[in-house]
Structure 1
Amino acid sequence: MEEEDYEAVLCVKPAVHVYRVPPRASNRGYRCAAEWQLDQPAWSGRLRITAKGKTAFIKLEDKTSGELFAQAPVEQFPGIAVESVTDSSRYFVLRIEDGNGRRAFIGVGFVDRGDAFDFNVALQDHFKWVKQQNELAKQAENPDQAPKLDLGFKEGQTIKLNIANMKKKEGAAGNPRPRPAGPGGLSLLPPPPGGKSSMPTLPSGEQLPSSHPTPTQLPGTPITDSLLSWPQPAAAPSAPATDVWGDFSKASG
């Protein structure tokens, strides 16, 4: 089924009244309160707005059987097919057609003011959609005439970069603060929060003096001053120097 053959329902109102409208005497518009016999409607029933393609149809139907009483094709809104009166928001003048070329103007009134508002909004929304479809069709036919987005710099327009802040952020993120290294090139971990550093305890309960470093040296650890502070073993007393030539001088024969 093509889009032109599909009929959509835009709005349905269950209670409307139809009035005979006298010929308009001037171009000032229709007035219902002074010229219509509001207490004697010519017909009462329901109103239904449908859309087939870009044309909307206002249909007046019987409440029970749904038999069509009259319809008004609307190709433009606001326009001559639907006109509001000058002294009330609940009444409109419709130009109905019978399909054989005959036309007539009738008055339509809504019982509730909210129904009249919905009637107006349904027609407005439909013709907003029609306008969008027409614009899209024009763009499809002439794509070169569509407005293009200009992203170039205008004359005298400049752009400013804050390089100082960028360097500051880059230095803070890429250069973490080094931790001090302990003896032997090993990194020292900070003490736990709230804790105190303590010396290792010997099995007898005694502690190593704080001035003595750890006697064990890890493989590959360079010798530092702390390792050289250990007492070195005393050198063995050297033997008295002897004159080997003297022994030969005392030898007999």
Structure 2
Amino acid sequence: MSYESVVFIAREVMIYQIPPLKTSKGYRASEWDVAKPLWSGRLRVVEKNVPLTKDAYDACELRCELLLEDSTSGELFATAVYDSNGKGVEQVVDSSRFFVIRVVDGERHAYLGMGFQERSESFDFNIALQDYKRHSDPMANTPASVSKNAPKDYSLKDGETITISLGPRRKKPDSRTVSGSNSSSSSSSVLPFLPPPPSAAQVKQQNRGEEQDDFGEFVS
């Protein structure tokens, strides 16, 4: 089943008859007589989902068409087909408001110039064509491209476990060894016992004995 979606509308564009392309560098709007357009009217850019066969359940193709219509009556002046590879519409090299389009009429085709009055309209026109190229890309919305940047799941699945290696356990020291070492270290660190100082009577008696000894030696 086919459907049609309007993705861009310009109320007025100018169509020009242009000279043949002279160089491979591209078309130049400065070589056109922009003051004398061949036609002016409305531009509608539509996307069409067209079945490749009569069977509605078969594959479909997304197409983009530029419809040049009379602004009042809506009468069709010409149709240009824009290809997903970028063919059918080409921007000139010396202006952002002018393009070259390939209009078709059955088996016949011709290249015409197209100009916008406002640069903002030409910008929106370019955006509409880029959106069509993205929509027509079959790889744009594939599951592979969507899951490429999806976050990884590191959670454990059913039946999975984690093994953690803690290394060798340290042996707990024996309390008796600790207490013994503490007692020996404490005993070795204690100062030896000192006797009390002598009393005054002991000092006098000791001095008297020393005087007698000295006197005795002197007498003899």
TM-score scaled to structure 1, two decimals? 0.51
1:56 paired residue number? 64
1:174 paired residue number? none
RMSD: 2.3
Aligned mates of 2:140, 2:72 — CA distance in 1: 41
2:215 paired residue number? none
> Is structure 2 residue 104 aligned with structure 1 residue 108?
no
1:38 to 20, 34, 41: 34
> Match of 1:74, as an amino acid?
Y
1:90 paired residue number? 97
Q: Aligned residues: percent identity?
A: 41
Aligned mates of 2:18, 2:98 — CA distance in 1: 12
Superposition deviation, residue 134 in structure 1: 3.8
| Paired residues for 1:98-247 under 5 Å | 98=105, 100-131=106-137, 133-136=138-141
1:65 to 66, 69, 73: 73
Runs of 4+ more than 4 Å apart: 146-152
Q: Deviations over 1:123-172 (max 9, x none)?
A: 111221222x44446x5xxx8xx7597657xxxxxxxxxxxxxxxxxxxx
SS at match of 2:130: helix
- Number of paired residues? 140
> Match of 2:70, as an amino acid?
D
> Match of 1:75, as an amino acid?
D
Aligned mates of 2:92, 2:115 — CA distance in 1: 10
> Is structure 2 residue 19 aligned with structure 1 residue 22?
yes
Aligned mates of 2:41, 2:124 — CA distance in 1: 17
Q: Deviations over 1:185-237 (max 9, x none)?
A: xxxxxxxxxxxxxxxxxxxxxxxxxxxxxxxxxxxxxxxxxxxxxxxxxxxxx
SS at match of 1:125: helix
> Match of 2:128, as an amino acid?
A
SS at match of 1:93: strand
1:13 to 4, 10, 14: 10
Greater fraction strand: 2
Q: Which runs of 5+ in 2 are unaligned?
A: 50-61, 155-220
> Match of 2:41, as an amino acid?
G
Higher relative contact order (CA 8 A, sep 6+): 2
Aligned mates of 1:74, 1:122 — CA distance in 2: 11
Contact kept, 8 Å, 2:84 with 2:132, in 1: the verdict is no
Aligned mates of 1:136, 1:128 — CA distance in 2: 10
